[in-house]
Structure formats: C-alpha cells, structure tokens
Amino acid sequence: MRSTPTPRMMSLGLSMRGTGYHSAGWRDPSTPDNAELDPGHFARVARIAEAAKFDMVFLADALGMRDLDLDREALARTARVSRFEPITLLSYLAGQTSHIGLVGTASTSYNEPFHIARKFASLDHLSGGRAGWNVVTSLSDDEARNFGRETHFSYADRYERAREFVHVTFGLWQGWEEHAFIRDKQSGIFFDPDKLHLLNHKGKHFSVQGPLNIDRPIQGYPLISQAGQSEDGQELAAETADIVFSIQNSIEGAKSYYDSVKGRLAKYGREPDELRVLPGLQPIVGRTEDEARAKFDALQALVDEGVGMAHLTSLFGDLSAYPIDGPLPDMEPKRSGAAATVIRLARDIARGGDLTIRQLYQALAPGRGHKVLIGSPIRIADTMEEWFRAGAADGFNITPATLPRGIEDFAELVVPELQRRGLFRTEYTGRTLRENMGVRRIGGTQQVTA
C-alpha cells in the first residue's frame, strides 16, 4: 500500500504594520489609536493569525525614520514614522502566542553578525523554535547617516557584505552541536567540550571568533527569508533563504520571477520546493463584491492628495509642472538601488492601467505597490488558487490595508474557503516554524558553499 502523498499547501504570512499597509489605514474608524505602539494590539493581531493557522507573522523594518524626504505638510500626515523595533516586538510576541512563526527584518549593512546570530538564537529559544530572520541590505542614505556614513553602501558592496554576513551567522549557529548540553547534576558535567566549535572566521568584511554564548537555535537555523528582486538579491535568496517575499502585480510577472529565482536553486544543490516564493497580497474582502468595494472606497476617500503627491515626488522627482489629472510624464527615477524596483513597479502600474498622476497615487495608497484584491471570499480564493496552481506563488504574504480588521476579515471569510479547497492547513502539525512549513534547514542535509 502506498501512502497518499501530502497535498502541497500554501504558506501564509501576515505582514504586521500597526496601522495597516494602506497609507490612510490609521484614519479608518476601526483602527485603534496608538496602533503602531500598542503591544496589546500586536498580540491580538498575532493571535488572530495564529487561530487562522498562518505560518508566520512578519515585521518589515528600516534603520531610520521613513519619509524624511517628504515636505513637512505631507510628513505630518504619514503614519510610518514610529514603530516597534522588530526583534523586541517578536520576543514579546513569543510569550503571547504558541504556534505561529515570528519573522523579523534585520539589516546586514548596519549590524554585526554576532549580534544578529545571537538575538535570533535567543528568539528561537524564547519561542520554542519559531524564529525567522528576514535578511535585508537596507535602502537609504537616511539609514546610513544613523551609522556614521554619509551615503548608503553601493549595491555591489552591500550584497558582498550580506553574503559574508549570512555565512558567518550560519557558522555561529553551528558553534554548538546538537545535544552538547548534558547537564548531569550527579557528575557535575554541564556540557561536552567536543561539541563546542570556535568559528575563527576571517573574511573581507568580518572577523568573528565565536562561539555564541547561547546553545544552537532549536531549529538549527531560524527560518531565513529575503525579498531580493535584483540579480544579486535572487542569487543570495537561492543560496541561503527558505522563503522569498516578492512584490508582483500580475500573474505573468509573478510567474517569471518565480521561475527565475527557483531556476537558481540547482546550482546550490537545492530542490525547487526548498525555497518558497510568497508575493505580497492585500485582500479587501467583503461578504459580497459590493461590500468589499464599499470598504475599499471608504479607505480611498481618506487618502490625502498632499501625501500621495509627496510619495510620487519621492519616487519620480518634482511633478508640480504636470496636470494632476494628466498622464505620468516619462521622467527618470529619482532614486537608484533597491528603491528602483519600487519605482519601476509604480511606472508599470501607471502605464499598464493608463493612469493619471492622481490615479497613480490612489493606486499606490493601499499597498504601496503590493497587489490589491477587492472582492468576495470566493473571488479572492480563486485568484490565490490560480496563482498557486500556475506556479506564480507558493503562498502569500498578506499585507492588510488596516489592522486588526484586515486580518479579522481574511481569517473569517477567506481562510475557511482556502481550507475547504484543501489549499491551506486546518491544524498546525509541527512544533517549530520549519516543521510547520516543512522546510529543512540549509546545511542540515547539504553544505552551503562558503
């Protein structure tokens, strides 16, 4: 008798921005005051996602205040300026949840591998093996200026440093072998020194002796995620990550990215399913199409023209000479580097939909470029299933317009429909994040090339 093969399931993450992803989310009547800095709000949101059997909650990050380049008038109207630091918030949430993964962003450009390896190991022990590290290389000069530099590292330097950083971190996590700690009260032997290994890494960017002053993470390595869209970003993800978050608006674009990043895995001795691709998705769900549309329209009515225009200005430069109800002119992007991905995306949205300047800032307001799906549970599940079956996504990173409403609606209306279709789990089956997702750690069965 052959056992029935386990059907492939979607992975679902919830990206938690306190006031939601929609630029006017904080103004929605359902959004709590102080949503960005109320720990109870985040605990509630994470527990809703856990009750819905989400794989993980996720925290994006930046190492400085965002939107500093906006003019004062627009700046005063943006809610992204204040937020919890991810590792502290996730450590708090470790005690407020029991099954869901806790994935946080930390930059390789303005950190030291010892601190990052140690903090994620600590979070892994605090959470019983539910930690994940989202590896980023940071975006802006405003971040660089908080760490003694005038400008951000160049693209090439950033990724070279990131690759060494990740390998050092992996090395530190291997400093203590499994079962190194004996703790035999009788004999007085606390641990087996044969299972302790100094790293003694000496590289171009880092020299790190090790070992960590904490036992190996429960998961071996915490889950590794990335969001690399560029060549080097995809390559680093293929070599070192378990999941990639992507920003894709069309199924064609999503499929092409999916194929591109998965096509790189063989080079590192990895199978296609060892790297999960999770595009961002903002569902605006109602019991009917009309209810969903009404929710969306109510949010859009709160979008401020000044904030919207300031956002476009930060992407494309000064647009004041152009009529707001006319087309986006063919201007050069104001920024380079990782921000360029977002800029190209915004351009494609404008061109693809033949949008005016006003329509473009309105289109970017809900998800800042992430795909927005407005409709009934059936319609949203249909699209998710289509992407999943077409090889455009292994799951989704949900970027709700508002919190807690965005996750309440999704958990109540869409998750049961996905479960009914056999696309999503109805129970957690594992103990750790890796067990629940079914992803073994890199290096657990094969060597990472260093």
Binds a copy of itself (CB under 8 A): choice among 8, 95, 177, 422 = 95
214 binds a copy of itself (CB under 8 A): yes
Stretch that binds a copy of itself, among 1-9, 50-58, 77-85, 315-323 (CB under 8 A): 77-85
Candidate residues 154, 209, 250, 336; the one interacting with a copy of itself per rule CB under 8 A = 209
Number of helices (H) and strands (E) in the chain: give both, helices first. Answer: 16, 13
CB of 208 within 8 A of CB of 168? yes
Under the phi-then-psi rule, with left for phi > 0, alpha for psi from -120 to 50, and beta for the rest, what region is 309?
Answer: alpha
Q: What angle do CA 227, 46, 298 make, to 5 degrees?
A: 80
Residue 142 binding a copy of itself, by CB under 8 A: yes
The helix (run of H) or strand (run of E) holding residue 111 is none
For residue 333, what are its two tokens?
Answer: 């992007």
- Cα–Cα distance for residue pair 182/318, rounded to 1 Å: 65
| DSSP annotation string for 39-59 | HHHHHHHHHHHHHTT-SEEEE
Cα separation, 36 vs 398, in Å, equals: 18
Residue 363 as a binder of a copy of itself (CB under 8 A): the answer is: no
**How far apart, in whole angstroms, are the C-alpha atoms of residue 261 and residue 228?**
9
Ranges within 159-188 binding a copy of itself (CB under 8 A): 176, 181, 183, 185, 188
Give yes or no for residue 83 binding a copy of itself (CB under 8 A): yes
CB of 311 to a copy of itself, least distance (A): 14
| 137 neighbors 162 (Cβ within 8 angstroms) | yes
The interface with a copy of itself within residues 102-121 (CB under 8 A) comprises 110-112, 114-115, 118-119, 121
For the record, the structure tokens of 168 come out as 């050092």
Site string for a copy of itself, 405-444 (x = CB under 8 A): ----------------------------------------
Shortest spacing between CB 105 and a copy of itself, in angstroms: 13
Residues in region 8-67 near a copy of itself by CB under 8 A: 24, 26-29, 33-34, 37, 39, 43, 62-66
CB-wise, 119 or 441, nearer to a copy of itself? 119
Q: Does 123 bind a copy of itself (CB under 8 A)?
A: yes
Selected range binding a copy of itself among 91-99, 234-242, 249-257, 405-413, rule: CB under 8 A:
91-99
| Closer residue to a copy of itself in complex, CB, 28/409 | 28
CB 24 within 8 A of CB 302: yes
